[in-house]
Amino acid sequence: MARFLVFLSLALLISSYVLGAAPVDPVSLCIEAALKLDPCLLYIMKGGDGPSPTDACCTGVDILSKLAKSRVDRIVLCYCFKKIFWTLDNEDIHSRVAGLPNKCGISYTMPPTDKTYNCNKISMFSDDEGVVLI
């Protein structure tokens, strides 16, 4: 599954360059983000029917929250996550991904995974609902 995420991350990065939302090293950022969420895949796919997020998953979410240092980083992660999670055909995935920080006790707003969301709308300090990003 990790190889699958890496492949999708690379495809997304190429499209992020076309969209003009590329940080200094978007390939590394997207791949690192995908790898940090790899321990969360069982929870993301199974949700309430499966286990709670593991310690490794929560550690990955915590590290991920520190990767998004700039607006451009947040935009790249948004495109990355949209591409990764929309290829996994499951409607509940979006709410599980968004809820990971809360489940792990981490103050962070995950990038949107909704395919209709315009990632370029992400601001430096808040999301569209006025929630401060940390």
Question: Which band of pLDDT confidence, cut at 50, 70 and 90, is reported for residue 61?
Answer: very high
Please give the share of the chain, as a percent, with pLDDT higher than 70: 68
**CA distance linking residue 5 with residue 108, whole number of Å:** 22
In the chain, where are the structural domains located?
25-119
Among 131, 17, 109, 114, CA closest to 72:
17
| pLDDT at position 134 | 34
- Looking at the predicted structure, is the pLDDT value of residue 119 above 50? yes
Q: Mean of the per-residue pLDDT values for the chain? A: 76
Q: How far is CA 36 from the centre of its chain?
A: 10
Q: Is the pTM of this model over 0.85?
A: no
Architecture of the CATH domain 25-119: Orthogonal Bundle (1.10)
Tell which residue, 130, 75, 64, has the closest CA to residue 97. Answer: 64
- Give the rounded distance of the alpha carbon of 119 from its chain centre: 12
Higher pLDDT, 8 or 107: 107
